[in-house]
Structure 1
Amino acid sequence: MTEPVALTRHRDVVAAAQDAAAFSSRASHHLHVPNGMDGAEHRAFREIVERQMTPQVVAGLEPMLQRTAQEVVAALPRHQPIDAVGDLGEVFAVRAQCRWLGWPAAVEGELRDWMAENYAAARAADSARNAEVAAWFDRIVAAQVAAHRDMAPYEQQTAAERPVDATHRLLEERVHGRPLTEEEIVSILRNWTAGDLGSLARCVGVVVHRLAERPRWQQRLRMLARELPAQSDEFDAILGECLRLDDPFVANKRVTTCPVTTPSGQFIAEDTPVLLDWTAANRDPDVFSPAFDPHGHAAHNLVFGTGPHVCPGRDLSYAELRAVTAALLTATALISPAEGRQPVRHEPPLAGWAQLPIVLG
């Protein structure tokens, strides 16, 4: 198998991400809706995904996200070490996701168990183990789809009875004039859930680590948290800069459909696997200064990608991260590193923090 070519320069990564014709997203033999699709097929399925995450939908979810975050933070002990990733990030990610999707609280424990095994399988780089973990997750998703299908048919319910969760909305969607297949529905939900759970928990870890280590920025964000939603733009810019500096979204795969020369002069032959290295691109010294500069760096920040495959859940992700960060800051006077306990990084291919001991005061 040809070794993948890693693109690390910001301009090369941007050019590849924006050129879906030369850098195809069909880099896997498995169905990935819509991430593993190109062209018209990608656009048709992406429209479905985007309808579930419009600004109006996200705005409607924000009160639930805020309540969930406050509930999780209120349950955390004070003045003793906790793990910001496991005790806060993972719990919030799973609970908020289940409520958005309309899944029962009973599935939260299984999803957290799955997350732990998924991390372990990724670190082991064992294809058989990864396949087992993927199959396990598909069973979790398929069971929830079946449970939603077993409810009364949509057209037989009154407007007040019709559920508004994302899983039900997805079951009502059409593509090319037909209902989505079971495999397509499971793939979309897998993408949302498997992709969001771990990544949101890692985002929480990255943000909390930076705030715990830098009290001045912690106090600035705490002040802004008390003035939300009026200060959402500055609040989100600071969150984005934290993620740029310690990007939890490492890379995406592409494969070239023709010979390509990148803007920096790197030649790549046809049918070559390529890695878009977001982490390296987000630290390119030709683009970013060494300073922590939320507004100055925002226009070039690639945490959520760029081009036709830019993350459709960007607004939802910011709403989730804003809710949990604001809840944590407004409920505390100080977040500090736990004395005598060292944080632990995720091992490749993952990024961010696996464990982050902190103390809430």
Structure 2
Amino acid sequence: MPDKNREDWDPRSDFVLSNQFSAYDKMRLRCPVAFSDYLGWSLFRYDDVVQALDDHRAFSSVVSSHLSVPSGMDPPQHTAYRRLVERHFEHGKVEAFEPRCRAISADLVSALERGEEIELVAQLARRFAIRIQCAFLGWSDSLHEPLLSWVRKNHEATLARDTGAMAAIALEFDGYISELLEARRQAGSAAPDDVTTSLLQEQVNDRRLSHEEIVSILRNWTVGELGTITACIGILAHHLAQNQELQQKLRENLSLLPAAIDEILRLQAPLISNRRVTTRTVEIGGRKIAAGERITLMWASANRDEAIFGDPDEVRLDRDPEQNLLYGRGIHVCPGAQLARLELRVLMEELLTQTRQIALAPTQQPVFATYPAGGFAALPLLVT
């Protein structure tokens, strides 16, 4: 056990928060398995993170007393719920969503001002995440503005680390979901034929899903989608604005976009970390960790590990996609990975085909998001 009065690092220090990726790169070399009061044990190396992901018996996903279906479950409980969730992301269903995704993307990109500085996070990234998620789940357009307001409040509370406000905001979101479900129950056979309605008919272990289970599933899908897709768009646009040669290469050959998107998001993670808890004493990275200890898997570091990827900042479009931990690994690999890839590819296709150049704004600097968020809080760009 570590000396609880002597931390290996401070995840909330100005040094770390001013440039998370540089700090994680240094920790990976200096102290790859590090203790802090804030995060417990943080794993920075690729192999150590993979060890924890692959051994779900020793590294449990049940990290909270709050219901989290299925990401906060372990087998055998996890298995039935995961199978249920995966049905909603089958290949045919995802492919059938592309025309709707294309229409939303084209509409939002066409609305961006040309030749003027824009704030990409507010004007495109958040709006796309909201509209695309509502469309996929079958939610009314009338929810766009309330959800945008909710995202802003959640973002402000997270930045302020106001736990009371964050709890109230979480309840507000659950209220939206409960209203949607109640309206569908009242409508009966006249309820819209969409993903949300179908969850009311789903069964697990020979019984219908409970209201709490459905709310948990929809919360996990939506909150995760709104945050990570928003972050992804900012990261991608910023990288292309900084790297004009790559931007031009992609404009000339859009077929390279899927590999480029995964590779750029490997460099700068949209999701910084994930949590586990040990169920027994384990040894990892040369350190012995007792049962019941908090573990933080640092995606943002593992995907930049020199031992796996060489120069972590080199963009290579020929990398083995199986090595990239962008969408996780093992039994908890993101079930919506194919949908997320489609959404990001289609939006970036529209952004590149409808514009001549994406450049950094000359008068304002980007504002990076701070832990636990990835991407940008604000991203001024010039689009022509």
So what's the TM-score if we normalise by structure 2? 0.87
Deviations 1:260-313 (A, max 9, x none): 112x32321111010011001111111112221132253311111111111111
Pick from 292, 297, 319 the counterpart of residue 276 of structure 1.
297
The 4+ residue runs of structure 1 with deviation greater than 4 A are none
Cα RMSD after superposing both structures: 1.5
Q: SS at the partner of 1:324?
A: helix
Pick from 240, 255, 259 the counterpart of residue 262 of structure 2.
240
Q: Which AA in structure 1 matches 2:213? A: E
Gaps in structure 2 of 5+ consecutive residues = 5-35
Instruction: Indicate the residue corresponding to 1:19 in structure 2.
Output: 55
Pick from 192, 211, 214 the counterpart of residue 185 of structure 1.
214
Pick from 69, 72, 96 the counterpart of residue 60 of structure 1.
96
Please tell me whether the aligned partners of residues 203 and 352 of structure 1 are also in contact (alpha carbons under 8 angstroms). Answer: yes
Q: Is 1:97 aligned to residue 113 of structure 2?
A: no
C-alpha separation between the residues in 1 aligned to 2:211 and 2:305? 42
C-alpha separation between the residues in 1 aligned to 2:85 and 2:253? 31
Please tell me whether the aligned partners of residues 199 and 249 of structure 1 are also in contact (alpha carbons under 8 angstroms). Answer: yes
Gaps in structure 1 of 5+ consecutive residues = 226-230
- After superposition, residues 291-302 of structure 1 pair within 5 angstroms as 291-296=314-319, 298-302=321-325
Q: SS at the partner of 1:33?
A: coil
Q: Which AA in structure 1 matches 2:245? A: R
Pick from 293, 308, 325 the counterpart of residue 348 of structure 2.
325
Pick from 210, 219, 228 the counterpart of residue 248 of structure 2.
219
Q: Is 1:196 aligned to residue 232 of structure 2?
A: no
Instruction: Indicate the residue corresponding to 1:315 in structure 2.
Output: 338
Instruction: Indicate the residue corresponding to 1:252 in structure 2.
Output: 274
C-alpha separation between the residues in 2 aligned to 1:300 and 1:342? 33
Please tell me whether the aligned partners of residues 63 and 277 of structure 2 are also in contact (alpha carbons under 8 angstroms). Answer: yes
Q: Is 1:72 aligned to residue 108 of structure 2?
A: yes
Pick from 59, 81, 105 the counterpart of residue 45 of structure 1.
81
C-alpha separation between the residues in 2 aligned to 1:223 and 1:101? 34
Q: SS at the partner of 2:382?
A: strand
C-alpha separation between the residues in 2 aligned to 1:164 and 1:335? 39
Identical counterparts, % of pairs: 39
Pick from 192, 200, 204 the counterpart of residue 175 of structure 1.
204
Instruction: Indicate the residue corresponding to 2:7 in structure 1.
Output: none
So what's the TM-score if we normalise by structure 1? 0.93
Deviations 1:88-107 (A, max 9, x none): 11111101111111111111
Please tell me whether the aligned partners of residues 241 and 297 of structure 1 are also in contact (alpha carbons under 8 angstroms). Answer: no
Q: Which AA in structure 2 matches 1:279? A: A
Instruction: Indicate the residue corresponding to 2:372 in structure 1.
Output: 349
Instruction: Indicate the residue corresponding to 1:88 in structure 2.
Output: 124
Q: SS at the partner of 2:276?
A: strand
Please tell me whether the aligned partners of residues 82 and 358 of structure 1 are also in contact (alpha carbons under 8 angstroms). Answer: yes
Instruction: Indicate the residue corresponding to 2:361 in structure 1.
Output: 338
Instruction: Indicate the residue corresponding to 1:125 in structure 2.
Output: 161
Instruction: Indicate the residue corresponding to 1:113 in structure 2.
Output: 149
The offset of 1:240, in angstroms, is 0.5
Deviations 1:136-165 (A, max 9, x none): 110111111112222232xxx6xxxx7442
Please tell me whether the aligned partners of residues 141 and 186 of structure 1 are also in contact (alpha carbons under 8 angstroms). Answer: yes
C-alpha separation between the residues in 1 aligned to 2:210 and 2:56? 25
Higher relative contact order (CA closer than 8 Å, sequence separation 6+): 1
C-alpha separation between the residues in 2 aligned to 1:171 and 1:61? 21
Instruction: Indicate the residue corresponding to 1:147 in structure 2.
Output: 183
| Number of residue pairs aligned between Structure 1 and Structure 2 | 346
C-alpha separation between the residues in 2 aligned to 1:45 and 1:166? 15
